[in-house]
Amino acid sequence: MNFEEIYIKFKEQEHIQPIKLHNKKKYYTDLSNLEDSWTVRVDAWLSNTFIQEAIRLIINAIVLFEKGYLDCAYYSLRQSLEVSTTMVYLIELDEEKKETELSKWRRKSKFPMYGQMIAFLTDNEKNFADMKNEMSEYFNELQKLKNRLNKHVHKQGFNTFYVSRNHMISIRNDRTDMTLEFEECLKGCIGSIAIFRLAIDPFPILLMDYEIYARTSDLLTEAFSYEFVQFYIGEEAIESYKNTEIYQELYEEIMKDEKRLPSVVDVVKNKFIDIENIEEILSQVHLLSKIDSLAVIVTGFSKKISRIYANNGLSFYLTSNKSVREKIDFNGEMFLKIRASDVQVNISFDEAYLTYLNICNEDFFLEHNKQLELKEFDTLIDKINIVCRTMNLN
């Protein structure tokens, strides 16, 4: 390294103090819980992109903080709030105004700031206004958080200056204080993104209740974990949220639906079929999709079957019959070749076997631990077709 390179590196690193964030893995894991809370609202699909962006900004903040670029880290935190607020603002507008504002946002023309969006939503959008009213204490704390972030972004106070930090009496204590301050803001921002997500629909909280979970189909939305809610939002704030109309109305509507048995929930939510409970599962066949129903029926006719692949592998079912095959991956192209081949039964599949069936106009690939006898295979098809006609699944 020559003198010029040494000098450039020195100037770039001067006054920069990298700081290790020991809870980084926890934050990244918790962010995945937020990432999986996709909305099922068709008219609000855009919000999923905003959530992804807000999460990216949180991760950027953590990376920047550890590298020592503190004001940039706080700016990224603040932007995560801006993005989350913009999401709710754009989604909750009426259709005509939404198109206008979305167009302005895309063109980067004049667009309302955070405070203006909050004020507009409070005055004009029923659901958000209801949330803000029921959760007034939480939103007061959110405003305090925004103010704290602004102090760091606008570099108010010598402790926000890079050139002052090296002159502190105790750099070690200063780093501890900086870490605590950053983590408090980080925690608040993650919680706030979650709250703005709940302004779109209440499913991440609704699905935490098993009574609701057992009455819903397989949704894209994953529930927030109890630990996530406790750490980032707080039980008191969530209990206040449950008093809102957006939560209460959907809760009451879903509770009118029939509750699925645990074995049926396993099929619908986890694509797991308990062979010992086939009869119980079929007692609620009306609560299963066609593909789910057929997978259960097929599994019930042979204990050799361990896994089932439908829709060219897009639907993948495990059974309580453990596979002898060690691998869990599969190849969609291989499925297509088997379907087009003259040989479709008892094809070697690592330690197991694979058999293709077309049942009720649906393609299924059965993974089984032992070979199917030809007579057994023919009987299987006949019985399944009878059941399909009986259950009107054709």
Q: Percentages helix, strand, coil for the chain, rounded to the nearest 5?
A: 65, 10, 30
b or e along 321-346 (b: 16 or more beta carbons within 10 Å of the residue's beta carbon)? bebebeeeebeeeebeebeeeeebbb
Token pair, residue 192, equals: 């706030």
Neighbouring-strand partners of residue 359: 362
Token pair, residue 307, equals: 């896994």
Q: How many C-beta atoms surround the C-beta of residue 358 within 10 A?
A: 11
Helix (H, G, I), strand (E, B) or coil at 342: coil
Residue 132 Cα distances to 77, 78, 142, angstroms: 22, 20, 11
Q: How confident is the model at residue 272 (pLDDT cuts 50, 70, 90)?
A: very high
Residue 232 pLDDT > 60: yes
The conformation of residue 261, written as its DSSP 8-state character, comes to P
Give the pLDDT score at 31. 96
The conformation of residue 244, written as its DSSP 8-state character, comes to S
Residue 335 pLDDT > 90: no
CA distance 114 to 77: 13
Residue 39 pLDDT > 50: yes
Give the pLDDT score at 277. 95
CA distance 345 to 243: 57
* Residues 260/78, Cβ–Cβ less than 8 Å: no
Give the pLDDT score at 17. 82
The domain over range 262-390 is classified in CATH as 3.30.200: no
Residues 6+ apart with CB under 8 A from 73: 60, 61, 62, 64, 65, 182
Quick one: which H or E segment has residue 216?
none
Give the pLDDT score at 283. 94
Residues 6+ apart with CB under 8 A from 102: 90
pTM (2 decimals)? 0.87
> Residue 284 burial (CB < 10 Å; 0-12/13-18/19+)?
middle
Token pair, residue 184, equals: 């408090």
Give the pLDDT score at 172. 47
Residue 304 pLDDT > 80: yes
Domain ranges of the chain: 3-254, 262-390
Token pair, residue 31, equals: 């962010």
Residue 171 pLDDT > 50: no
Give the pLDDT score at 390. 73
Give the pLDDT score at 14. 66
Token pair, residue 183, equals: 């983590």
Residue 168 pLDDT > 70: no
Please compute the mean of the pLDDT values over residues 262-289 and round it to a whole number: 95
* Residues 192/140, Cβ–Cβ less than 8 Å: no
Sheet holding 352-359: strands in order across?
Answer: 272-273, 315-319, 305-310, 362-368, 352-359, 347-349
